[in-house]
Structure 1
Amino acid sequence: MQPISIEQHWIDTPHGQLFAQSWSPHVQHGAPIVLLHDSLGCVALWREFPEQLAQACGRRVIAYDRLGFGRSAPFPGTLSADFVENEALGGFQALREQLDFNPFVVFGHSVGGGMAVGCAVAYPQACQQVITESAQAFVEDRTLAGIRDAERQFAEPGQMARLQKYHGEKAHWVLRAWVDSWLSETFSQWRLDAQLSRVRCPTLAVHGDRDEFGSALHPQRIAALTAGAASLHILLDCGHVPHREYPDTILAAVSAFLAQPNV
């Protein structure tokens, strides 16, 4: 195993700073992998996965806290109905400019998967490959039921402390941004279809068969609608966080996908 260098970064945006962290192998092969977290996530909640990914793939891995999450500045107001698509030209663009990476691979978990698709569309010449993990492609009843159940769990005594550990005083905003955005009438017709049709690079869609926030219809739709070559990987007996539940399987699948010719 080669040594991994870990660096922290502060990214300036018009609305405040973003926190980012990178894991760089001593010897690197290929474009960096940028991680986009889920609706309650942040850099810290990727845990050991970024370092494992850097080691397995021999590439620099970059993760950042979106505005309002983790160690980044608070978000000014509420999320707009097009917040998934907007991330590519918001925080991601600032990250890309200030860390100065051109070709890149993007890996998005849950809602971060939709944002990863948006990044591929916004930067078609720079994005080499897309990996979506447990991503949503539309608003499904199963997704909404999972969110309502999670909201009830966070209402129980002591449960908000789980979010406060990672998001501090922003924890209440993080929860409401997730719940209120997805359950709103204005978001009910949201679909990723139009953006998927504009993805030209290879795409890997990973999903657990027991994902409580979305059925296999999501990765199937992602794989079917992307304009580039697409691979589908359904993990058996797996929930919403495959990289935590079956890290070795995910690392092997991603490594194999990245090793394919970029056509």
Structure 2
Amino acid sequence: MSPVTTEVFWIETPQGRLFARRWFATPNVSDKPVIVLFHDSLGSVDLWRDFPQQLCEATGLDVVAYDRLGFGQSAPYPGHLPLTFIQDEAERFFPQLREALGIERFIAFGHSVGGAMASHCAANNPRDCLALITESAQAFVEDRTLQGIRTAKQQFQAPGQLERLGKYHGDKAQWVLDAWTETWLSAAFSSWTLKHSVGSVHCPLLALHGDLDEYGSVLHPQRIAALAGDRGEAVILEGCHHVPHREESARVLAKVIDYLGRIG
């Protein structure tokens, strides 16, 4: 594994400032694609922990992670999160990230709802997105997903739980929690599907999913993989819950390395 260096970026956008971090592979080769990470509904750059560095070391590719507007160290989101937030990320914010960091060819890697955002980015940039990787992503609003969110919402009522979230999001923690729970639990969002919003993906696609995921059954990776037709592949990780890159990082990295090697 090659050593890596990191750099922090502050990206000014009309909507507010975004925080990003880039892990540079050594040796750095300018024409290689960059892996861009899209975090989950409660996530941030810091909550990826050491996975971006591990991914950079294992693949020899630069890795970029950023806090979406309203999350982590990025600026607060102006108002309530709209129901179009998934496609908005691909159409409004991701292009600004690419321009600011000079990202041309890329591999989109999204965890949970970040997987849906990564799928949109792949669909919107068919020439530049070389591969799509989703992990624990949702393809539709499933009863199992909603029950998991209701359980988590109740757990966050316990003393100290919101404060734990505040370690990563500061005084935006309540907004972050509400943006997740109230959006997904709203009747207006119940008909959302990734197929309807994305249509299809024209690059190789790897959909990773734990068989014990509390926020979605194995129907999700199957439907996500189908977005790419015969270029899509669903891999079920036995014994994993919703965050395989934290629970079984070595296994996730092995699957990613094998996949990129086979398409590459």
TM-score (norm 1): 0.97
- Deviation, structure 1 residue 28: 4.1
2:256 pairs with 1:254 = yes
The one of 160, 169, 172 aligned to 1:170: 172
Per-residue deviation, residues 233-262 of structure 1 (Å, max 9, x unmatched): 101111000000110011011111112235
Q: Which residue is 2:241 aligned to?
A: 239
Per-residue deviation, residues 142-189 of structure 1 (Å, max 9, x unmatched): 000000000000001111111100000000000000001001111000
Contact 1:137 1:218 in 2 (8 A): yes
Q: Which residue is 2:48 aligned to?
A: 46
2:156 pairs with 1:154 = yes
One-letter amino acid matched to 2:85 = F
Secondary structure at the residue paired with 1:90? helix
TM-score (norm 2): 0.97
2:74 pairs with 1:72 = yes
**1:86-235 superposed matches below 5 A:** 86-227=88-229, 229-235=231-237
Secondary structure at the residue paired with 2:158? coil
Per-residue deviation, residues 30-72 of structure 1 (Å, max 9, x unmatched): 3110000000000000000000000000000000000000000
Q: Which residue is 1:22 aligned to?
A: 22
Distance 2:128 2:10 in 1: 23
Contact 2:204 2:263 in 1 (8 A): no
Secondary structure at the residue paired with 2:57? helix
| Alignment RMSD (CA, Å) | 1.2
Per-residue deviation, residues 75-96 of structure 1 (Å, max 9, x unmatched): 0011111111111112211110
Distance 1:54 1:225 in 2: 27
Contact 1:197 1:227 in 2 (8 A): no
Secondary structure at the residue paired with 1:76? coil
In structure 2, the gaps of 5 or more residues are: none
Matched positions, count: 262
In structure 1, the gaps of 5 or more residues are: none
- Deviation, structure 1 residue 2: 2.3
Indicate the larger mover: 234-243 or 186-195.
Answer: 186-195
Q: Which residue is 1:58 aligned to?
A: 60
One-letter amino acid matched to 2:46 = A
Indicate the larger mover: 187-196 or 49-58.
Answer: 187-196
One-letter amino acid matched to 1:147 = I
